Amino acid sequence: MSGIEALTWAQMYPEDVAGIVGIDMAFPESYDDMNTDVSGEVRLISAVKATGLIRLFVGDNMFPDTDSPEDIALERTLVCRNFLNKCHKSEAENIKASVKRITDGEKPDVPMFLYLTNGEGTGVSEEEWQGFEKSYTEGMANVQSESFDCGHSEIIQKEHDSLVNGIREFISGLGK
């Protein structure tokens, strides 16, 4: 949902946005087929979290195997504490309205550097996932993208150096 937030901010406050770096961000079209009546799921997950049962669903396999046992324990604590917090609930309950606000408005005229994954974990094919970005940015000036053969949850760990170098280069070119 951070992609939706970035696009909204760029539409509403273009003078405050020098550019957008999107790391496997979702675009409005990504939500077209999504069931957005999540009230039942939110209530269920809130109850699971409140009882502490959420810890049963947060296994070691959710974290990079390069992390130490101490890091995994800390990460698990943070996931269990922060999962479905007030912000997450609000985002889930209001995503359709947020998408509508973006599609009803002008596309933002800001430079974008977009990192795309193969869509693994999104529920759609690589072609469809990357097609959302291409469809939204078609005709927009100043959009660069780079694709990686990994899933959403893996891109930071697997492509860290590429991301850091690309972001630094993108940022250094802003305002020139």
Per-residue pLDDT tens for 55-107? Answer: 888 888 788 778 889 998 998 899 888 888 888 788 778 888 889 999 999 99
| Those residues with Cβ within 8 angstroms of residue 42's Cβ, 6 or more apart along the chain or in another chain | 84, 89, 92, 93
Q: Which long-range contacts (CB under 8 A, 24 or more apart) does 48-51 make?
A: 49/80, 49/83, 49/84
Range of the domain at 69: 2-173
Structure tokens at 132: 């959302």
Give the predicted TM-score (pTM) of the model: 0.76
Count of domains observed in the chain: 1
pLDDT in tens, 114-146: 999 998 888 888 999 999 999 999 999 899 999
Cα(129)–Cα(4) distance, rounded to whole angstroms?
15
Helix (H, G, I), strand (E, B) or coil at 22: strand
**CATH number reported for the structural domain that contains residue 140 in this entry:** 3.40.50.1820
